Structure formats: C-alpha cells, structure tokens
Amino acid sequence: MKLTRALPLATLTAAVAAASQAQAQTEITVATVNNNDMVIMQSLTEEFEAAHPDIELDWVVLEENVLRQRMTTDIATQGGQFDVMTIGTYEVPIWAERGWLTPLDDLPEAYDVDDLLQTVRDGLSHGGTLHALPFYGESSMMFYRTDLFDEAGIEMPDQPSWEQVYDWAGQLHDPDNEVAGICLRGKPGWGENMAFVSTLVNTFGGRWFDMDWNPEIDSPAWQEAISFYVDLLGNYGPPGASSNGFNENQALFSSGKCAMWVDATSAAGRIYNPNESEVADRLGFAPAPVAETPKGSHWLWSWALAIPASSEKQEAAKTFIQWATSREYIELVGETEGWTSVPPGTRESTYANENYQQAAPFADFVLEAMRGADPTDSTLEPNPYVGVQNVGIPEFQSIGTQVGQTIASALTGDVTVEQALQSAQRATERTMQRAGYLD
Amino acid sequence: MTKTRAAGRTVGGLRTLSLQAPAVTLLLLWMIVPLAMTVWFSLQRYNLLMPEMTGFAGLENYRYLFTDPALWTAMGNTLLLVGAVLVITVVGGTLLAVLFQQEFPGRGVARVLAISPFFVMPTVSALVWKNMMMHPSNGVLSWVAESFGLPAVDWFSSLPLTSIIIIVAWQWLPFALLILLTAIQSLDEDQVEAARMDGAGPVAIFFFITLPHLKRAISVVIMIEMIFLLTIFAEIFVTTSGGPGLATTNLAYLIYIQALLDFDVGMASAGGVIAIILANIVAIFLVRMVAKNLES
C-alpha cells in the first residue's frame, strides 16, 4: 500500500478508535473504609455516574484494619487491584516517598486547592506536592453532657486540664444508672488506643523517640501518663473499656452511657444529629484536656483519596477523587443528607458556609482545633519525627500495634504499668534495631 | 502385616509405579513448592513496607524470632489452648455420648441439637459469644450473674484465654460427641447385659467395658482435633485480637501479626517454618500412638 493512501486510512482508524474509546466505560475500583462519611459517598454513586457517563464505580468497602492490609499488600507488590485508595495522613508521605502514589500536581483551577486547610494539605504532601486529596479531616476534642454537669454544679472552663477531668469523672461516675464518668479508647491498635494515648503522653511531656531515635517509652512522662490513663479509665470508665474503640464509644456516648468523651472531632456531626443520638440536645464541647503542655494534646488526622501509581486508569480515577473531595460534593451531601453529615475538616469554604454554621454549632471550634495541631512540633522536647498521634516511619504500624497491646494489658490489670512500659520499650528497641535505626 | 511392593507388580505389562508417577509428582509439587518458598522467604530480608531492604538474611529472621519473648508466650498459649480444649471435649464428649445412648423421649431431637454447634462457622460462633453471651453489659452470662446478685464478668479482659477455650470447646465438643456416639453404638449389648448379670454397677460398666471400647475412637478424636486446634485463628481474631497484651496470641495469630500487621514476610515465613516443625513433632507422636491403638 502506498503511503499517500495509507495515511488517511490510519487517521481514520485512529479517529474511530478514539471515538469508541470515549464511548467505552472505564470501570474503576475504589477501596474505602466503612465509616459513615464513606458510606454516604458510596450511596451517591449514581450522582457521580450520571455526571460522568463514561466512568463506572466498583466499590470495595472494608473495616479499617482489613482495608489497610489489603491495600498495603496490593500497593507493595504492585498488584494494581485498586484504582483509588482511601489512606490516611500516616501513609501518604511514606508511600509517596516510595513512588507508590501518583503525584497530583495538575489539579484544575476549579478544584481550588487553596481552599483546602493548610495543616491537612501539608500532611498529604510529599516534597511540596499533594499525593492525595482530603476526604475528611479531624482533630480531637472533648464532648460532655451539659445536663449531668449542671446537676453536679460543674462549670467547664475554656481549657480543661486532665486533673480536673479526673475529679469530674469521679463525681459523675454512676454505674447503677449505667453512666460511666468517662469513655476513652481502650481497644488496641496504633489507630485506636494509641492515637488517644499518644496525645495524652504528649501533653504529659513525653515523646516516642529522642533525637537519635532511641525509644523513650519507659520515661517518667510515659509512666505518669499511662498510670493516669489506667487509673482514670479503670475507676470511672465503662465496663469492658479495653475492647472499646472509636465506634463502640460513639455508640455508648450517643445512648447516654458516658458523661464525658475525648475523641475525634468528626464524631461531632453524628452525636449532634438527633436521628442518631439520644443526647443531641444536652451536649457541650471543650478542647482536649491538657496536663504539662498544650503541645500535641489533640491529634491531626485526615482520610484521603489517593491513586496508586500501579493503576492503569489514572484519568478516570483522577476525575473521581476530584469529584469526591470537591466543594460541589460537600454541597451535594449537605442538601441530600443534611448539613451535619457533610465530610468535615477539609475545606475553609465548608466552615464559611452559612448552612453548615447553623447546623453545626461546633464548626468554628473544630476549625480552630485543626489549625492548631502541628505534626512537625508535637512534643515538649524536640523529636525527629512528623506526626502528633503517630510517628511518620514505616515501622510505626508494628510498634504502635505492639505497644497498644501492651497498654491494653496494663488497662485490664494483667501487668503493672511499669512492667508494661518496660516490655513495650524492649519490643520497640528490637524493632528499631532490626530496621537499622539503632546499632 | 504383609508387605507388598507396589513398584514390583505389573499390570498389563506396565509397572504400577509409572502409572502412579503423574499423581505422585503432582502431589509432591503441591506440597514441596509452597514449603520451599516458605523456607526461602524465611532466609530473606523481605518487608513489604521497606522495599529498599532486600537480600539474603541468613538466619537473622530466626534469631529475632527466637529472641522474641512473644514467641514463647505464643507457644505456651497454643499448647494450653490445645490441651485444655482436648481435655474438655474428650471428657465431656465421652460423658455426653453415654448420656445420649440412653433411651429417653425426644432423643433424636436432643442429639441433633447437641451436635449442631459444630456446624456454626467459627467467625459466627465467635461473634455470637462475644456480643450475645460474654458481653459485660448485654451478654446472657452477665445477666445470669446479675440475677444471682454477682458482679458481671468482663470475660475477654479478665479471663481472655479461658474465654477462647470455652468458645473453641463449645465448637468441638459436638465433634467428639458425634464420633464417640457412633462408636458407642457398636458396643455389644449382650456384653453389657452379661456384666450386669454378674453384678457390675453402672460405674464399673463404664470403666471396664465402655471406656476400653471407646479407646480407638478417642485416639482418633484426639488426633483430628489436635490438627485443627493448632491452627485456631478466627475465634481469636474476632474476639480479642490476640490480647490483651499477648494473653491470647497463639502461633497462628503471631504469624498473622507478622505477615499482615507488620508486613514482614521474612519473619512470618520463619514463624511458619517453626509452626510446621511443631505440627510435625506433634503429628509424628500422635500418628504413632493412634497407629499403635488401632493395631492392638
């Protein structure tokens, strides 16, 4: 065939191919957590598919720990099973450094990157480039029952201290009426009890590692913080506290079984929602309590959507994550599900929105808490790591899980706090040696 | 026992060995490839989260594993769990088998009900026990305790391993009952009758006739249960996640922690090799014991 005739034919074939490709549907697999906000995202699938007829969504919704295992094994072995992954501020910088995530440096003007909260954006960046888009963000705060506080004649100061919390818990603890003085996380796991315990240790003046990466888990500050935690939760906590995580505590608190609860700000939307909470009209909130230092007393976390570098459907995946983290999505949820259900903690514009301001009395408070948490400076003495409630190194998953287990066994009284911290210290030293941080 | 030499016989001019060869080869591959890979990985520096740390590690994984206090706790828990469940199921199963052998109205239904726990999936039964039986505020057991004026027990925090043993024993007791009941049905009635005529009481009949008759069945129950109990995982995963501390971590759960929470493939493989060795030691002794019992 002569070239002159072949050329138009080739162009034609290319054009036909392009046209049929535009017609063909791209199916992307989205892996996400079974938290309420993500379940809402899944329920809005039709809205997305109607707006983007060429993309079809396939969901994999799992419990946090299981999801993390599946995603980590998939991305580390370059499996390419998922096109969109739901990961947190802990994973993003580590995975980005390994080149496992697609950098998001070409976001369109309309997405309005500058609207994202600065602390959240920093947490999801590596080398100054975003590697994931925030779906919702949270810090931690204290919730309490105003009716019980009024009855006991307690007034909540602007900034409660842990010492005061201990006193109040003692006054309000009423096991005969099934009301615990305080509910806190006790279920082991680096993302469960250790998220809370780390902030407690921070505010008691402790840290995970010194500047040479020597673990400091048996330091006096840790002893003091963990003894305090074990006493407080052991004396005035709900029964079975060592198996309560975020979800269990939320269920207890919203059914009126806790007088106080210190946990994620993202719970506020749900416990203020009268359809989901029996105590929605008797709620007060305050900043997370402090002890020695306000530094690191409240955490910073965000769940974000990222695209693994191994995905073959980059464009479609990008379209989806931009939609799910956009301003329009937040408005869509506000209108269809009610304004307390919108994903919080990601965009300044959410907090400027009048509808949200009206529905969520805690809005400004949460915004302040999120702005105030600094992962790069979270402890009284300097530390070599990034993170408030976690340490931004790959080994932390293992360390956090181990230490979490040990602290849970101190909570149930199997071992003394001192023994628990010593064995946690030894286990952490071993892990750090094995990973080559220590000789 | 007469010995036959399979390789020596011929069928239609073909040696039987050559006919067996494909099946045997497939079985060997089936077994040896995963085993060899496990051994190979256990000698590697291989952590999914640290792709830059690779290469031959020698026995480093084993060194870390053997100096890990968690390994010995896990071994102890594994043996304790297997031992306790075996005792409960064999003793309980024998007694129940004798009981269910008696004639009483509704025996068929009662037998089916007694056996049914075995058909509940491990994860489901663990969930039922966790949320409906042993829960400190919603559980049936706490309700029972409170109606007697006793404080509710927080089973999974104060008696973690005991709770797991109860759940697993509840699942496996029906299995023992099933096997032993079948065995007891083959007991010669005339023999029992004769013993009774000679003035033997029910206790004597149980110890001198029923129990010796059940000896083989009991050793089969012990062997089969032990193989499955060494790998108990779902019940622990659902209820206590190996905790609090290491109180309910068995060998299977320890390997799971290393492989899927720490993503340390090398360490987990080393743990797997240890588990294989342990299972083989147990199996060799058991197979000998059972074989001896069956021969006599």
Q: How confident is the model at residue B10 (pLDDT cuts 50, 70, 90)?
A: low
More confident residue, B129 or B2: B129
What is residue A14's predicted lDDT score, i.e. its pLDDT? 52
Identify which of B240, B144, B129 has the alpha carbon closest to the alpha carbon of residue A405.
B240
Span B192-211, average pLDDT:
90
More confident residue, B243 or A288: A288
Identify which of A192, A199, A161 has the alpha carbon closest to the alpha carbon of residue A373.
A199
What is residue A5's predicted lDDT score, i.e. its pLDDT? 52
What is residue A13's predicted lDDT score, i.e. its pLDDT? 53
Q: Are A29 and A83 in contact (CB under 8 A)?
A: yes
Q: Are B253 and B242 in contact (CB under 8 A)?
A: yes
What is residue B1's predicted lDDT score, i.e. its pLDDT? 45
B221-241 in b/e form (b: 16+ CB < 10 A) is bbbbbbeebbebebbbbbbbb
Interface of B with A in 152-181 (CB under 8 A): 152, 154, 156-158
Nearest chain B residue to A420 by CA: give it: B245
Instruction: Kindly give, in sequence order, each residue whose CB lies less than 8 Å from that of residue B211, ignoring residues fewer than 6 positions away.
Output: B94
Looking at A272-313, list the stretches that DSSP marks H as alpha helix, in order from N- to C-terminal side.
none
Q: Does A328 touch chain B (CB under 8 A)?
A: no
Span A250-276, average pLDDT:
91
What is residue B58's predicted lDDT score, i.e. its pLDDT? 84
Identify which of A45, A90, A46, A40 has the alpha carbon closest to the alpha carbon of residue A68.
A90
More confident residue, B3 or A352: A352
* Phi, psi of B7, deg, nearest 5: -65, -25
Q: What angle, rounded to 10 degrees, do the helices at B265-295 and B16-42 form?
A: 140
Quote the DSSP letter at residue B148: T
Q: How far apart are CA A346 and CA A371, in angstroms?
A: 11
Q: Does A428 touch chain B (CB under 8 A)?
A: no
Q: Are A388 and A198 in contact (CB under 8 A)?
A: yes
Interface of B with A in 243-272 (CB under 8 A): 243-247, 257, 260-264
- Cβ B261–A398 below 8 Å, yes or no? yes
What is residue B244's predicted lDDT score, i.e. its pLDDT? 81
- Cβ A412–B157 below 8 Å, yes or no? yes
What is residue A144's predicted lDDT score, i.e. its pLDDT? 95
- B244 vs A73, A405, A427: nearest CB: A405
- Cβ A405–B245 below 8 Å, yes or no? yes
Q: Does A150 touch chain B (CB under 8 A)?
A: no
Q: Are A279 and A145 in contact (CB under 8 A)?
A: yes
Q: Does A438 touch chain B (CB under 8 A)?
A: no
Identify which of A63, A125, A138 has the alpha carbon closest to the alpha carbon of residue A94.
A125
Span B224-246, average pLDDT:
87
The minimum CA-CA distance between B236 and chain A, rounded to whole Å, is 13
- Cβ B260–A434 below 8 Å, yes or no? no
Q: How far apart are CA A132 and CA A212, in angstroms?
A: 30
Best mutation target among B46, B71, B157, B163 (most A Cβ atoms within 10 Å) is B157
pLDDT tens digit string along A112-147?
999 999 989 988 998 889 999 999 999 999 999 999
Q: Does A243 touch chain B (CB under 8 A)?
A: yes
- Cβ B245–A72 below 8 Å, yes or no? no
- Cβ A414–B64 below 8 Å, yes or no? no
What is residue A8's predicted lDDT score, i.e. its pLDDT? 52
What is residue B142's predicted lDDT score, i.e. its pLDDT? 87
The minimum CA-CA distance between B195 and chain A, rounded to whole Å, is 53
Mean pLDDT computed over every residue of chain B: 86
Span B280-292, average pLDDT:
80
Beta bridge partners, A192, equal: none
pLDDT tens digit string along A59-93?
999 988 788 888 988 988 888 899 999 999 999 99
Q: How confident is the model at residue A1 (pLDDT cuts 50, 70, 90)?
A: very low
ipTM exceeding 0.90, yes/no: no
Q: How confident is the model at residue B162 (pLDDT cuts 50, 70, 90)?
A: very high
| Residue A372, CA distances (Å) to A139, A140, A204, A369, B124 in order | 9, 11, 18, 5, 44
The minimum CA-CA distance between B255 and chain A, rounded to whole Å, is 13
| Residue A69, CA distances (Å) to A313, B103, B184, B196 in order | 22, 53, 48, 63
Rounded percentage of chain A residues whose pLDDT exceeds 90: 64
**pLDDT exceeds cutoff 70 at A9:** no
**pLDDT exceeds cutoff 70 at A4:** no
- Cβ A420–B135 below 8 Å, yes or no? no
Q: Does A69 touch chain B (CB under 8 A)?
A: yes
What is residue A24's predicted lDDT score, i.e. its pLDDT? 65
E strand segments, A243-317: 260-264, 283-287, 300-306
Q: How far apart are CA A342 and CA A336, in angstroms?
A: 10
- A405 vs B48, B51, B246: nearest CB: B246
* Phi, psi of A144, deg, nearest 5: -145, 165
Mean pLDDT computed over every residue of chain A: 89
pLDDT tens digit string along A300-358?
999 999 999 999 999 999 999 999 999 999 999 999 988 988 999 999 999 999 999 99
| Residue A180, CA distances (Å) to A162, B131, B244 in order | 17, 20, 22
Beta bridge partners, A134, equal: A304
Q: Does A405 touch chain B (CB under 8 A)?
A: yes
Q: How far apart are CA B13 and CA A345, in angstroms?
A: 81
pLDDT tens digit string along B44-69?
888 888 777 788 888 888 988 888 88
Span A162-187, average pLDDT:
93
Nearest chain B residue to A423 by CA: give it: B69
What is residue B50's predicted lDDT score, i.e. its pLDDT? 79
Best mutation target among B41, B142, B241 (most A Cβ atoms within 10 Å) is B241
- B154 vs A73, A239, A397: nearest CB: A239
